[in-house]
Structure 1
Amino acid sequence: MKAIHNKLKIGATWLACMMSAPLVAQDQPRSEPITIGTSYPVSTQDADRRINVVTPAGYSEDETAYPLIVVLDAGLNQDFFLTLGMERWNQLWGRSAPAIFVGVQTVDRQRELLPPTSDEEESARYPTAGNSAAFRAWLADKVLPLVRENYRTDGRAFLIGESAAGHFVIETWVDQPDMFDGYAALSPSLQWNDQALSLRFAGMTDEARPPLFLSLADEGGATEEGVLRLASASDACFADRRETLVHATTLHGLFPEALQYLLPTEADWLEEYGLTLDCEIGAGSGQEAD
């Protein structure tokens, strides 16, 4: 009898829970998904990845066309949320002009973002490195057309990258400057291949190039030498943050300024709130590495 009683008690409890469940549900607010953009599955160099696109506030309200901000290493598990958040924050304050955010996911960063190296230590550490030219061609032939076909753009596009992606930005600026209308290289890995890229640029003849925002943190060594050489040989707007930033905080500290330089606004309140642009044209003059 006791066993039957327990079964009846359990059954009654279950029935009461089932009957009360709809009432509990009715007391909950209706949920809605948060949709912030569109993700396009694509593939290159035998690897699947995504292009993540977010339009600026008010995009659907009129027919305004916008520039593109192409951010490297911006997969959902990479720098997408960080850089998108800073870009939206810039727009909120009028620190940089509205743009269509294009986050490009990388899979094998050294393979996709760096050129070949003759340095044996680098080759041993990153055996797949060296396909930056192919990745650049893919951006030009597939990614930019994809976005331009699906969104209202004003024809302009800007490229931003940090560390190895910063080297890719500089390499693009040097070899195919007309591919983008402006560039930002944050703490670029210019130590790569015995500083070959900055050395090659220093020996090139002068020619007009799009604006370049270039920064340096506390990297020191060959990275510092390469960045200073490039800064001194170019008209880049150079943000020297060796005393205030480390490599790990470069993106956090300078992405908003890079956007401010590339997409300036006429906002007259930025200085009042400390939202100033702290980079100087030709600031590397006289600091060239030996």
Structure 2
Amino acid sequence: MKTAQTEPAERFMTGSIPIEQVAAFAEGPFQGNPAAVCPLQTWLPDRLMQAIASENNLSETAFYVGSEGHYDLRWFTPTCEVDLCGHATLAAGHVVFQREPNLEIVQFSSNSGPLTVRRNGSQLTLDFPLQPGKACAAPTGLNRILGISAIACLQAVDLMVVVADEREVEAIKPDSKAVAALPGRGLIVTAPGSDVDFVSRFFAPSCGIEEDPVTGSAHCTLAPYWAGRLSRSSLVARQLSARGGLLHCALTDERVLISGRVIPYLSGVIHIDKSCVDPRSNDELPSTLT
């Protein structure tokens, strides 16, 4: 029997990039929404960033480039790039603060405009644009998809469905293929909470996310709805995924401040080599990795 011959790893490695995994909007260990964050000196090819996000297999992987509190930020799910992600922005802010401990505020430029993350005691606070939903008719078959009756439907980036109470939100088991066919990026299901102002769950199978553990960006639509319904601008929210998460929301002008805790989980490096780039493409690894 022939023994397979393997080349030494160092013959293939041309560089590495750091990676941090943290849980955003967590109340304790193994809660909140895990996100990977990769600080870069310069952008990697899009296909490579997408491959890294797919390999990580988390709801989102964030990549940022910049220095001294000013950064460009991008987010990738396992299947696609997205224009806004709350928990991975909170995670990226945490990583920047760890690397630059003298900062009190981080400014990100993104496809959704300027975003900031501030220190706020034991929490971090996102400053995000409001994305209020517009009342709409329920898509055909929605009650069948959810297994419960919708009280109201609103359309923004996501389809938001309001149901009667927290127990209904906990109980739903929607069909992923049917949810993927609904309009918008994903599906938000929300109701009044028993010990918080409101609860929600978020599903985005069309983006490769069966259910997102905690979704900061969805609260750009949730917060203005519940602020209007409850007649107050400061709200506490809980996402009822298996991991769960707690968010504090405050409306100000055309923005929403979303606060939560970040708990670090792991630190490491990703080894990158030239074989990671499709030779048929025009992509090249940046010189910082070659």
Structure richer in strand, relative to its length: 2
- The reply to whether TM is greater than 0.5 is no
* TM-score normalised by structure 2 residue count: 0.26
Q: Which structure has the bigger radius of gyration?
A: 1
Higher RCO (Cα < 8 Å, 6 or more apart): 2
Structure richer in helix, relative to its length: 1
